Amino acid sequence: MKKQEILKQIFRMNKKAFGIALVSLTLGFSVAACADQGGDGQPLQMVQATDQGSAAVPGGPVDLTVATERAINSVVYIKVATRVRQSQQMQYFDPFEFFFGDPFSDPFGDYNQGQGQRGGRNRGQQQQRSQQPRQTGAGSGVILTADGYIVTNNHVVAEADEITVKLNDNREFKARIIGTDKTSDLALIKIDAKDLQPITVGNSESLKLGEWVLAIGNPYSLTNTVTAGIVSAKARTVTGNSKGIESFIQTDAAINPGNSGGALVNARGELVGINTMIYSQTGSYAGYGFAIPTTIMNKVVNDIKQYGQVQRAMLGVKGKDVDTYIEQLEANGEDVPDFGTTTGVYVAELVKNSAAAQAGIKEGDVIVAVDGKTVNKFGELQEILASHKPGDKVKVTILRDKKKQDVTVTLRNEQGGTDILEQVQTDDLGVALKPLTDAEKRQFGVNYGLKVTAIKGGKMKEAGVQKGYVLMTVNDQPMRTNDDFDAAVQEANNSDERVLWIRALTPSGRRASFAIELEQEK
Active site residues: 155, 185, 260
Residue 190 main-chain phi, psi, to 5 deg:
-140, 135
Q: List all residues 6 or more positions away from 400 whose beta carbon is below 8 Å from its beta carbon.
A: 362, 364, 365, 366
Strand partners, 408: 395
**β pairing state of 200-201 and 431-435:** unpaired
Nearest to 382 by CA among 300, 324, 296: 296
- What does the alpha-carbon distance between residue 285 and residue 255 come to, in Å, rounded to a whole number? 6
| DSSP per-residue letters across 75-136 | EEEEEEEEEEEEEEEEEEE-HHHHHH--TTS-TTHHHHHT--SSSSTTTTEEEEEEEEEEEE
Nearest to 337 by CA among 355, 325, 347: 325
Sign of CA dihedral 168, 173, 179, 182: positive
Strand partners, 200: 47
- What does the alpha-carbon distance between residue 251 and residue 293 come to, in Å, rounded to a whole number? 12
Sign of CA dihedral 377, 382, 383, 389: positive
Residue 76 class from Cβ within 10 Å (0-12 exposed, 13-18 middle, 19+ buried)? buried
